[in-house]
Structure 1
Amino acid sequence: MSEMRQRVARQAMERLLRLQKVTSELSQALTPEQVARVIIQQAGPAMGACEACIYLLEEPGVLRFVQVMGLPPAVFKRWTLLRVDEPVPIAQAALTEKPVWVESLDDFRRLYPPLDDVPLSQKGAWAFLPLHAEHRLVGVLAVGFPLGHGFREEDKDFACLISKQCAQALERARLYARERELREEAERARAETEAHRRLLESVLQQLPQGVLLAVAPSGRMVMANEQVRRLGRGHVPPDWPLEEYSTIRGFHPDGRPYLPHEWPLVRALGGEVVHGEVAELPGNGGPPLTLEMSAGPVRDAEGRVTAAVTVLEDITERLRMEQALREGECVFRRIMESDLMGLSFCDKDGLLLDANDAFLSLVGHDREEVRRGLLHWRNLLPRGEASLERALHELWTRGASPTFEAELLRGDGSRVPVLTGAAWVEEQERVITFVLDLSDLKRAEGALRFLATASYILGQSLEVSDATLQHVACLASLSVASWCVIDLATPEGLLRRAAVAHRDGEREERLWRGWPLPPLRESGGPLLDAMHAGEPLLFSDFGVETWRHLAAGAAPEMEGMAQEACSVLVVPVRSHERTLGLVTLGSCSPQQRYGREDISMGQELAHRVAAALESARLFMESQRAVRLRDEFLAVASHELKTPLTPLRLQLQGLRRVVESREEGRAVEPERVLRAARICEAQVRKLSSLVNDLLDVSRLAQGRLPLHLEQVDLVTIAREVIAQFSDEAARAHCGVELWAGPPVVGCWDRVRLEQVVTNLLTNAFKYGAGRPVHVRVWMEGGVARLSVRDEGIGIAPEHRSRIFGKFERAVSERHYGGLGLGLHITQQIVHALGGSIQVESEPGRGSTFTVELPPGVHDMLAHP
């Protein structure tokens, strides 16, 4: 027993000595790597281990391989970094922070299959000891023992004791290394601080801004850089006290002077942070300055304000430039947002980067194409344009291109004429291009050329024939329209087609037949309404429904015409409130759609056509007036001579009878009476002719005096018929009067006698020796007088003009008279508030019917 105790004591002493040696060696290690080397070289053999390795904690959850003994280092190549959740004993010890004891190699292979390739001793045991320091895991020590039996408790205790010493040594080395690092960092920080201080002082002196530094709470100025002196236009004295701040003169932007306590440096000494405050300083021998001031306090570790710093920046020039920039940007923005011109930006390759709405609308593209980078100048420029090539050459060689006219391709394939120019913006490496739409200018120039040519064509002759109008329509279809139709009003109240022209000659005949031609007397319809109102019609989008609305009743095959026209302009041709016709222009081209601006062009064309037609009408009327004047003078001279000849003959006969009678012999009374009657009839006829001429003169002057009284139209008719009994007999026309009770009204007796006289003499003249029927009656409160003959009648084409001045339906060589009777009759009837109509059939006579209101008429003169 004593021998066993002695052996145990020796073993304990040996372990103590080994522990002391290990502790001594560990105390000399300064770094964790040195400690790990001592642990492998000293602690492992001290425990009797033949194999050992150590892992240190790299970061939470990750161990790093450091040292190995008894095993080749290559074994740990794949385990250099080891996570604590790996299925290996080292990780298990780190994860559980408890020792792991493996009694034999068989247990090791069975428990840890991933480590089958590790070359361990055939007879041995392994201990995996977590290294704790201050309740913190710092690593894991793995030791292998050549034991043929398991671990005894004293072996485990000794291993744990050594592992504890190793952990403490590692923690001490880590703290020492950290202390050394902190000292080195402090030295570097001091050196860097000094360098930074010198650098900061140099930078502050070189800054373009002024910098002021004052200590708190006195406000004593301790530093002012060179820029402050330049801004102050003088020297800033050192150690300037707070009281001296009142000598600084400055003003707020609103004109208020800065008070001493309002300066940013003073406020920063009180702990306030000031950003970008503006002050205006009066000029001290120079122009005034505008300064932007920012200030802030400097605090110590306890938060006390120890100093204050102010940064001053001269923003006078910047404000001026900003103002100029704002004004320039405002102008440019207004130009970009307006529709004055199109503006675009592109890169040097021609890709459009930005464009205003006016440009995009002009070229027919949208902003989404620009945003997606799909719009390029090569999509807008026609190929083979020499002017564009020259402009691009100028742009790249001189930085700007001259303005020139060109055509741009629109998104729909059409072309638009523009005035354009470009410049290279070097600062932005972009090309700015402007474009002005010349479409309206080109259209206006074309319209002016067309109107000038049309005026020349219309002025070539005093007579405007259909051939002249056809020439004008052809000109319009080739310049300002795709097709043109000209319709003229006829005296009968109808419209006739005078000219039709189409750019496509094959469609001209279809247009002639298909375009609507409403009669003037028809009521309703857009064309008639526009013609009567004198207002143009514009169909910007002319389609099938519009065609059907205008051309009701047109041939169905003509509806195809509606597909050809995309816009139509209908302009009335009027002169002095008189409808002369219609001019219709149609455009089949999407690039030439009519708008409100084209109405004036159409009206100018209609005005020129109306002027030409009116000039032609006036010329024809003047020619006709000259002819009628000559005819009237001839007829008037003949008619005036007619009653004078028998009058002269009768007077000569009486003179001869008196001269040849025997002295004392009386002249036969019957012969004198017969001659007197003949002379009286001729004088009456001559007086009637003179009265007609006087009445025509009064009518031309717009006056026809009336003397109204209560008269009986039946009595007047009987008296006139009785007066003309001899003339009726000479004309072989019996007169029949159909009259009932008196027809009384407030009329002019003399003028009514003149009406009846004119109608009777007209019936005698053209009655061809047949009876004349006169009827007077009252019907519906209106007095009526009709005179019907059974003579030659009146052709339909002459009925509208027989009431004209000097007009007659037959030649004056066969029928005498001045051609004034029916004209004067109509004017008298109208002056009395009535009306006169004629019904006639060639070869079967004519019937003239007068209708008169019986009441007192308030018109005392012809209107």
Structure 2
Amino acid sequence: MSAGRRTKEPPRAHQKGARRDDARGEQEPARRGGEDPAAGGLERASPRVLYLYEISKQLTRFESAERTAPSVLTTLARALPIRTALVLLEVPGRPGVKTIVWSAEGVGADRLQATRSHAATSYAYLTGAEATRPADLDGEPTATNAPSGQPAGAPRAEAEERGSFLVLPLVIDRGPIFGVLQIEGAARLEEPDLVFMNAVVNQLAIALDRQAIIDAKQAAAEAARAAAQRRQAEADEQRALAEALRQRYEALVDNLARSFVWEADARTLQVLYVSAQAEELLGYPRARWLAEPDFWSRCTEPDDRGELDQALRRTLAAERDQRCDHRCRTADGRVLWLHSGVHLVNDSAGAPRLQGVSMDVTPAKEVEARVREQLEFTRAVTGSIGEGVLAMDREGRITFFNPAAERLLGWTTEEVVGRRVQEVVQIRRADGTSVPDEDHPALRAIRTGEPVRSDEDVVSCRDRAPLHVSCTFAPLQRAGQVSGAVLVFRDIMDVKRAEQVQRLFAEVSAVLASSLDYAETVSSVTRLSVHALADLYFVDLVDENGRVERLEPTSADPAKQRLTERMEDFAQRPGRETPQAKVMRTGEPLLIPEITESAVGAAAHDPGHRGSLRAGGSGAVMVVPLVARGRTLGTLTFVTTEPSRRYSAADLAVAEEVARRAAMAVEHARLYQHAQRAIRTRDDFLAIVSHDLKNPLSAILTAAALLMRTLPADEQGAHDRRKAEVILLAAQRMLRIIGDLLDVAAIEAGRLSMEKRGHAAGALVRDAIEMEQALATQKHLVLEGEIRGGGGFEVLCDRERVLQVFANLIGNAIKFTAEGGAITVRAEPRGDEALFAVADTGAGIRADELPHIFDRFWQVAETARLGTGLGLTIAKGFVEALGGRIWAESQFGAGATLFFTLPLARPEGAAAG
């Protein structure tokens, strides 16, 4: 190996220094006293062999570059006259180079820095790299002692004199340069010096390379050993961790409360592992689980083996977790319910295994059985009642649904359990608006903890019309907390319908009593009925001449008014009998629960008429007769156009009752019309009688009075005067009877004229007593007056009419009071009216006769011949026409008292006030 083969030419400045050294070397033999240079080199060669041998031994004992290179440089400095020596050495795996420096004594720091820079530049030149920065040189001088024979204290000028540098690369064969050895000679170096240096460099390169190989091998071995140790430590740690995890796992699963963990081969179902709790729960040793291939099947109850086996097989086939409940027989013969969950896993070898957890759920199953029994009992109890019952949890989801609820709402238990109560029990208010979900009574009961009751709600049903219900939403309490709610409801459609019918009948009765115009009355009645019974109705009435008249049809919905325009399609045609005509003929109601094609065909006159009837849509029809006193007065026809509505027998019964009341109204109205016509005829007759009789009676009265005045005073004149007096009294009585008849007719016709003024009540009583005093004296009766309240009050009345009232009442009392009796006429103020009374001590009035004494022409049988029976009727008419009241009080055998009132007259200015 030769360092010279890899040596590049140093920089030009260095070559100039080398030529100067060569010039000094050529003059050296002369300065050495004429010695032969060759001979001098041989003399120096022998010690250098020793130095080379010493260096070889140092390199043989090579420990490290840091420890061996300085000793080699020191030996080299003894063999050659050098100022500085420097080794630059690459360090594998580190940037820059390692620098080892030797310097002779007295070499300054600047010189060393220049030496280091020269070495770096030379190294970069040799390797073809950029110049190594001084910062990359990390060495310091390692020796400061000069070699033997070299002056230790050389002058500073000599120490700083530019010397010659020899740079030799460190290289093996043709490999890469991994360092350089640079020496700075203190004197000229000869060729033997160069040979010596080359040998040293070769040995140093070999030693460094060998050491690098050894270091690399040692590093690799150390790294391998460290990696092995690390792997071993990691394996030990993993084993320790796995063991710890296993221990923790077993401690965990072995202490599970009433549960055990197991693992089995997925194909054979052989149990590979089972936790300790299995032995505690079932009583079988763990060894038996692992030893017997079919142990799971053997300890499972026969009825449940298929369920467990299917769950295990499904786990393997579907590769999804499975769960099942099954019973196991324990070693002591007990039966436990286990809930097993199974999971499929694959180990590194790809063998599938089943891992499972089995939990003892026997207490839960027993509770479930008790709950099921209680639920069946509850269902049996609630199934025997007519009310619907459903329960819900705190979230409003249905948990119980009894058969009555199924029947009423149209849902099955399977369909509703788990659903929100708002989806099943949809509530509408009485006005038809839907209740929002957040205001649902069930949720309100759960939210507030207070029951919610209602009899006005309408519940939507699944397959039928909405249902009127009476319902109660009551919260369920558990441990002081609301856990849900229960709904109890019942169908009150019949109750609501009965209420509606009663309300309808009451309204119909009120309407019937409000008018005597039969057409208006029937229209009002049917208008009330239409909302409850129909969408459309019409009335056919038979007049007194047998003609049928159809009143204006009416619709409950203005949008369906067009149907009323088509009622002519239902009119009778020649050769065809309409449903109305049939009902009039038979007197029997007709119910068409559904308008079918055959019904349309039966009622149609021709194809065009059939199309017109069919255009009315589907629905139902009821035709009921108007019958009174066995005579059919007409028909009522009710029509519904809603496809979902069908008439029933109950609807027909309501329609018949409405028709019966309407028929009575029609009959009464017609009778009233007949009576009105009769009254008008009577009034006309009375007017004629009063006109035709008054004139002759006036003439008779005048003639009788004249005759009585002109008759002579003899016996024959007295006899004739008595006859004239009889004629006068008879004519006066006939005149009074005609006057009473005219008064009654005027009262009933409402044409009674009154002239109201203020009159003193006391004066009226005194005048009335004075007028009747002669009759009372004639019958030996006491007739007296009694004025209370001072007598200074006035009444608003017609004086002549009031005196006639007094005359009728006092005359009636005189008629019924025996001789020696007494009659008292009283007057007193009572609030804003005056109370008058005529009391007698007669026989009194029987209780059954008392309500009739003011009726026309009514008389007590014992005294029927004594009057016309119109006196009290006229008195009642006068009093009521004056704004008062009249009545009678009597106890049979103890006399009677007739009372009447008149309004008090207001003082002057009271009206303005």
TM range (shorter): 0.3 to 0.5
* Higher CA-based Rg: 2
